[in-house]
Amino acid sequence: MHGGVNLTHSYIVTEEIIKEIEDCSDLAPLHNPAHILGIRACQKLMPSTPMAVVFDTAFQQTMPEKAYLYAIPYKFYEEDKVRKYGAHGTSHMFVSQRALELMGNPAHSKIIVCHLGNGASISCEIDGKCQENSMGLTPLDGLVMGTRCGDIDPSVVEFLCKKRGYDVEEVLRIFNKESGVLAVSGGMSDFRDIADAASKGNDRAQLALDMFAYRAAKYIGSYVAAMNGVDTICFTAGIGENNGMIRGMICDYLTFLGLELDDEANKVVGEEKLISTPESKVAVYVIPTNEELAIARETVALLK
Ligand code: AMP
Closest ligand 1 atom number to CA of residue 289: 3
Distance 19 CA to ligand 1 centre (A): 37
The answer to whether the beta carbons of residues 115 and 122 sit under 8 Å apart is: yes
Per residue in 161-214, pLDDT (tens digit) is: 999 999 999 999 999 999 999 999 999 999 999 999 999 999 999 999 999 999
Query: Active-site positions?
Result: 56
Per residue in 218-237, pLDDT (tens digit) is: 999 999 999 999 999 999 99
Distance 159 CA to ligand 1 centre (A): 34
Pick the closest to residue 120 from 10, 5, 229, 246 (CA basis): 246
- The residue type found at 267 is K
User: What is the reported pTM?
Assistant: 0.96
Distance CA 288, CA 117 (A): 12
